[in-house]
Amino acid sequence: MIRVMFTLAIFALAGCGADGPPITPSVNTTVSVGGEGLRTSTGVTVQKGPITVGARF
């Protein structure tokens, strides 16, 4: 849980424009159904120039 909070804090800092112009993150969610039931996955990506940082939960 602490890793998730830390990751969200880093994305929030990058998104608020503290180090330059604000960066807009992109969020995607995947829902799939299989033999094990319903499965969801959410990812957040931030891109600035050639650098992309992402996290999937």
What confidence tens digit (pLDDT) does each residue in 1-57 have? 677 777 777 777 666 666 667 677 888 999 999 888 999 999 988 887 788 888 887
Q: Is the dihedral of CA 11, 13, 17, 18 positive or negative?
A: negative
Q: What is the pLDDT of residue 30?
A: 92
pTM for the model stands at 0.50
Question: For position 32, what pLDDT does the model report?
Answer: 93
DSSP codes, 12-23: HHHHHTTTSS--
What confidence score (pLDDT) does residue 20 get? 66
Residue 29 CA to chain centroid, in angstroms?
Answer: 10
pLDDT of 31 reads 93
Contact between 31 and 38 under an 8 Å Cβ cutoff? The reply is: yes
